[in-house]
Chains A and B, each alone.
Chain A
Amino acid sequence: MEAFTVHTGTAAPLRRSNVDTDQIIPAEYLKRITRHGFEDGLFSAWRSDPDFVLNQPEYAGVSVLVAGPDFGTGSSREHAVWALQDYGFTVVISSRFADIFRGNSGKAGLLTALVDQETVERLWALIEADPTTAVTVDLEAQTVSAGDLVASFDVDPYVRWRLLQGLDDIGITLQKEDAIATFESSRPAYSPTTIG
């Protein structure tokens, strides 16, 4: 995974709450067995609406999504994260994320920056007033800045460390192979297995 330090890009305002992962990418797009190419499914039901924010020419090329509260609820599909990344998003900013979506984002390298709703509202106002506004997300300093706005954001400290280092979780865990083997040898004899 590539290390994440500072990202600067333009942003799109998604003025909706409770954007569930079925909205981010519907199930019919989950049949692909490769890891890429999910951008066509992103918000697919809304993309057919010419008024949808990502269909506005002024929001072409955005890399930061500023969404309403409870973003990413519902299904555990990591395809939702991949669809956002494949479309070009590097950061999602919201005042509340669903747990599994947030965990998946951390694993896949999409930064979910948690801010208060007031900051979301101010970002929406700034971006809508001038869609060319550059939004900078600094993971080291944990700040979002745009125009004269500077706000701090929350991110899990361990996820932050991993993203800054660009580390692969499995590699870290496999260093603890001895501890895993020791634990395994102490499991109760009646623990079920799936074979036989």
Chain B
Amino acid sequence: MGKTLAEKVWEAHVVSRADGEPDLLYIDLHLVHEVTSPQAFDALRSAGRVVRRPDLTLATEDHNVPTIDIDKPIADPISRAQVEALRKNCAEFGVPLFPLGSEDQGIVHVVGPQLGLTQPGMTVVCGDSHTSTHGAFGALAFGIGTSEVEHVLATQTLPLKPFKTMAITINGPLPEGVTAKDLILAVIAQIGTGGGQGYVLEYRGEGVEGLSMEGRMTLCNMSIEAGARAGMVAPDDTTFDYLQGRPHAPQGADWDAAVAYWKTLRTDADARFDAEVVIEASELSPFVTWGTNPGQGVPLAGVVPSPDDAADEVERVAIERALEYMALTPGTPIREIPVDTVFVGSCTNGRIEDLRAAASILEGRKVADGVRMLVVPGSVKVRLQAISEGLDRVFIDAGAEWREAGCSMCLAMNPDKLTPGERSASTSNRNFEGRQGPGGRTHLVSPQVAAATAVTGHFASPADLA
């Protein structure tokens, strides 16, 4: 029987295998940031261990860093201490680091791909659940906890039990106005936040093949919100074109050898998935979450659901609780819900294509009175690219705040937060209670819907703007 893409990558990384034990898997790239690494470095230090492969490890500062006044010391002393701990640890253990102020600094999942470090067939880990992003290149990429960060630092391997595989096939091209974000929100609404538990998702079909690398990254990024540790897309010419010429991509004969191998990384025709989901692209439309987990979403044209719609008691209680937290009434049209803040950014939608999409809608328009809009590039490189294209002027002229790179309001570890009761349209990945600040109410949307919503002050799609 043939193998799936995920199985091929897995098999190519087995260091040792024995009955009754997890496989020991080699890790090709370990990305590190300031929040989930200090305890791991501490443990190495107290055990007298070294980082086995600093040359396969890369650190960047992203979660905690401010997005204004980055030339000044970080104001919050605890954030500053954490960032300083990362700098000290990287220096001591020889790990390359892109600190605040570096031209390569940015969100860890934006930085890896833009440098060409994320390549097909690799294993990529990071102490961050959105590591699934890198699966867009046909890499097996997943988030790990701090104990595992320590394990990879010390051994460049991880003991792992094989995942099951799930195919998510998108038949037909995405309709006009439907983005990768809408697609993944629809997938999560269909299979649920636990639907992918124990699986690696492979996104396939025409609706996926037609996506750019940025779109594929958005798609794979939110695999974790369906409970799956990893999501993958088989590499193709779109992948190779994106990679060629990037600083860490292979060159010359190495490039040819790499591409020849990468072309074998497709699920075999006779391979079997443990589960399959099929979605007709023609049925998709812009999507908005209404609740407090990413599976609680509906089309923009829809209404806030009622607890009476629940399939069981557990779901009924969950809907009631979410409606109460979100201060929403069943039956309210999504388009009638007003927002206070619009956030464009994050590892989900903070890439250049996302900023271009938002800017194209804001061009010649204004952010509605009383609405605050933050645009936070995913990396310094994305920021510089946007500036070279004049996108910064579009945002500023529309009345949005144009910020420096970082995770920012996606998880509110830095000063960018919602205040209690404030409601956002956010291009990030999690609408959990308090995720964007205590008491904040988050609705997840695409950059296109975010920009249109900023203009009207309530949820809207670009098509709604006359």
Question: Contacts A32-B78, A34-B39, A170-B155 given: A96-B197 contact, CB under 8 Å?
Answer: yes
Identify B193's interface contact among A18, A26, A169, A188, CB under 8 A.
Answer: A18
Residues of A within 8 A of B156 (CB): 180, 184
In the complex the two chains form, what is the Cα distance from A31 to B318 in whole Å? Answer: 30
When C-beta atoms are compared, the residue in chain B nearest to A26 turns out to be B434
In the complex the two chains form, what is the Cα distance from A155 to B49 in whole Å? Answer: 30
Question: Is the beta-carbon distance between B15 and A183 smaller than 8 angstroms?
Answer: yes
Tier of interface size on chain B: 35 or more
Residues of A within 8 A of B227 (CB): 70, 73, 98-99
Whether a CB of chain B sits under 8 angstroms from the CB of A23 is yes
Residues of A within 8 A of B57 (CB): 194
Question: Is the beta-carbon distance between A74 and B432 smaller than 8 angstroms?
Answer: yes
Identify B157's interface contact among A98, A99, A173, CB under 8 A.
Answer: A173
Smallest Cβ distance from B88 to chain A, in angstroms?
10
Tier of interface size on chain A: 35 or more
In the complex the two chains form, what is the Cα distance from A177 to B400 in whole Å? Answer: 54
Identify B146's interface contact among A45, A78, A117, A191, CB under 8 A.
Answer: A78
Identify A76's interface contact among B145, B155, B433, CB under 8 A.
Answer: B145
Whether a CB of chain B sits under 8 angstroms from the CB of A22 is yes
Residues of A within 8 A of B282 (CB): none
* Among listed B24-32, B332-340, B374-382, interface-contacting one: B24-32
When C-beta atoms are compared, the residue in chain A nearest to B44 turns out to be A170
Question: Is the beta-carbon distance between B147 and A99 smaller than 8 angstroms?
Answer: no
In the complex the two chains form, what is the Cα distance from A173 to B49 in whole Å? Answer: 13
B34-80 interface with A by 8 A CB criterion: 35-36, 38-39, 42-43, 47, 49, 52, 54-58, 63-64, 76, 78-79
Residues of B within 8 A of A26 (CB): 434, 438
When C-beta atoms are compared, the residue in chain B nearest to A158 turns out to be B22
Smallest Cβ distance from B146 to chain A, in angstroms?
4
Question: Contacts A35-B42, A76-B128, A78-B36 given: A22-B432 contact, CB under 8 Å?
Answer: yes
Whether a CB of chain A sits under 8 angstroms from the CB of B384 is no
Whether a CB of chain B sits under 8 angstroms from the CB of A81 is yes
Question: Is the beta-carbon distance between A157 and B20 smaller than 8 angstroms?
Answer: yes
Question: Is the beta-carbon distance between B157 and A180 smaller than 8 angstroms?
Answer: yes
In the complex the two chains form, what is the Cα distance from A174 to B334 in whole Å? Answer: 55
Identify B24's interface contact among A78, A98, A156, A173, CB under 8 A.
Answer: A173
Whether a CB of chain A sits under 8 angstroms from the CB of B161 is yes
Question: Is the beta-carbon distance between B145 and A194 smaller than 8 angstroms?
Answer: no
Whether a CB of chain B sits under 8 angstroms from the CB of A152 is no
Residues of A within 8 A of B154 (CB): 170, 173-174
When C-beta atoms are compared, the residue in chain A nearest to B250 turns out to be A190
Identify B433's interface contact among A23, A108, A172, A176, CB under 8 A.
Answer: A23
* Among listed B208-216, B253-261, B299-307, B345-353, interface-contacting one: B253-261
Question: Is the beta-carbon distance between B58 and A22 smaller than 8 angstroms?
Answer: no
Residues of B within 8 A of A141 (CB): none
Residues of B within 8 A of A23 (CB): 432-434
In the complex the two chains form, what is the Cα distance from A157 to B150 in whole Å? Answer: 23
Whether a CB of chain B sits under 8 angstroms from the CB of A68 is yes
B236-251 interface with A by 8 A CB criterion: 248-250
Smallest Cβ distance from A30 to chain B, in angstroms?
5
Binding site for A on B (CB under 8 A): 15-16, 20-22, 24, 26, 28-29, 35-36, 38-39, 42-43, 47, 49, 52, 54-58, 63-64, 76, 78-79, 81-82, 85, 96, 116-117, 119, 122, 127-129, 131, 143-148, 150-151, 154-157, 159, 161, 193-194, 197-198, 224-225, 227, 229, 248-250, 254-255, 257-258, 261, 293, 314-315, 317-318, 321, 411-413, 430, 432-435, 438
Could you list 12 examples of A-B contacts with CB < 8 Å? A17-B315, A22-B434, A26-B434, A31-B35, A100-B143, A100-B145, A103-B145, A103-B148, A158-B21, A176-B24, A183-B26, A191-B122
